[in-house]
Structure formats: structure tokens, C-alpha cells
Structure 1
Amino acid sequence: MGCRSGKKLRERPERRFWFRLAKELGKSVRQAQLEISSAEFTEWMAYYSLEPFGELVADYRHGVACSLLANVNRSSKDRPEPYKADDFIYWRDTGQQQEEAEPVLLDDPVAHGQLLRAALFGVRPSS
């Protein structure tokens, strides 16, 4: 059963967000789902995209503090480039940042929804 749950959480980012939101609200997922409507849940997801909360934010905050400490003690001869917060968050992607693309608008609402889901949660659109 443990493997199925992990797979379900990886494949269903909305489900994973339920856990994140329930934790933030101090409730079980079941309690949160009983008390929060679909419309409110959608608003929580939009709010999270504007102002993230939870452990990911705490990890970034920690990375900022570590980079500050490292830069104060950094030898500019040995390391000319300053440390960044991402240098101290091992699981973060350290690749080059991509340029911001133009918005993509699709006529098909289902395809558009799948595209949004892929962009927000990293889930590939289903065929």
C-alpha cells in the first residue's frame, strides 16, 4: 500500500497539495477536504503560487542565511563569485534560468487545463 500512495502522490500533484495545505492548517487531509470547497481549494493553489508557504520556503530561508554566512567569510581571491541560496539547497535545480516565455493560450479547455497542470506541478499532459 505504501508504494501505491507514493505513486499516487507523485502522479497527482493536487493530492500532494492537499497534504501540504492540511499540514499548514493543522488538519488531516480528510478534515481539510470536508471543510474546503473545490473553489476555495483552487484559490489556495493560486495563493500558494503567489506566496508559497511550508517547508520549501523554510529551506530557501535557510539557504539565504547560509549564503550570507559563507559570503561574509568568503575570500574573493579564492572564490570571486558570491554564494547564492541555491548553493546550499542540495535538491534545487542549479541550471541556468530560462527566459520568460510568451503565454500559451489553447482553444481546447481540456488541453489548456493539462498544460497548466504540467506547468504548475510538473506533470506531463496525458495523451
Structure 2
Amino acid sequence: MLFRLALAMGRTLQELRAALSYAEFQEWCLYYQIEPWGEDRSDLRAGIVASTVANYAGRTRADGAEPVRPADFMPYLDREPPEPLAESQQLTDDELAAWADAAIFGIPPE
């Protein structure tokens, strides 16, 4: 998420870490859940336009063809999600907080 935020704000990771508190970073994460941005969202917008054009310009419902969907034009929609980590490899909440502090504030985890 930190990389997406840095790209969206036009900053380097180092600049973002220097200017962003952990509380504000959490707020940005919550905002992203409500209003996502980035390439996945761009693919959706392009898919909506492409499906609209494909459905209404050059073919009619009388052709009997099923209408195409925005997802038909989204190249990475069908990618496989990564394998979940084994329970022994998953970090606890405290370990995740320590790594977040390290990423944002430069405080090395113990």
C-alpha cells in the first residue's frame, strides 16, 4: 500500500516516510478500501468504455449475441491470487505493527 500511496502522491518512499504519520497512513488505507485508485481501477474504467462500444457500436441485440462485460476487457482480472502463507509463516499483529513502524518511521523491528 505504501508504494501505491507514494505513486499517487508523486513522492518517493523516503519522502513519504518522512512526512506521513502511522495514523495518517492507516487513514489512507481505510480511504483506499472505500475509493480505490491505481491501475486496477483504470482497467475497470477502460473495460466499461470498451464494453459499451462493443455492445452498441457495430452489433445489435438482434444478432443474438450475449453482451460483453467490462471484465472481458480487463487483462489481469483472471490472475490467480497468491497462495496463503502457512500459519507458521504468518505474522502476529504485534509483528505486523513492528514491520509497519520499520517501513514508515525507519524503526527497525526487534
TM-score, with length taken from structure 2: 0.66
After TM superposition, the runs of 4+ consecutive aligned structure 1 residues lying more than 6 A away are none
SS of 1:93 mapped into structure 2: coil
1:124 and 2:84 aligned: yes
2:96 matched to which residue of 1?
none
Distance 2:39 2:84 in 1: 24
State the shift of 1:123 in Å: 7.2
1:84 matched to which residue of 2?
69
2:91 matched to which residue of 1?
none
| Closer/same/farther in 2, CA of residues 49 and 123 from structure 1, 3 Å limit | farther
SS of 2:42 mapped into structure 1: helix
Q: Which has the higher contact order (CA 8 A, sep 6+)?
A: 2
Distance 2:82 2:29 in 1: 14
State the shift of 1:122 in Å: 6.2
1:1-127 maps to which residues of 2 (within 5 A)? Answer: 17-72=1-56, 73-76=58-61, 77-79=63-65, 81-93=66-78, 124-125=84-85, 126-127=87-88
Bigger Cα Rg = 2
Structure 1: gaps of 5 or more residues: 1-16, 95-120
Deviations 1:46-101 (A, max 9, x none): 1001101122211111110000000012343351x21111100121039xxxxxxx
SS of 2:31 mapped into structure 1: helix
Distance 2:73 2:38 in 1: 18
Q: Please, which moves more after superposition, 69-78 or 84-93?
A: 69-78
Identity over the aligned pairs, expressed in percent?
36
Between the two proteins, the alignment pairs up a number of residues equal to 84
SS of 1:21 mapped into structure 2: helix
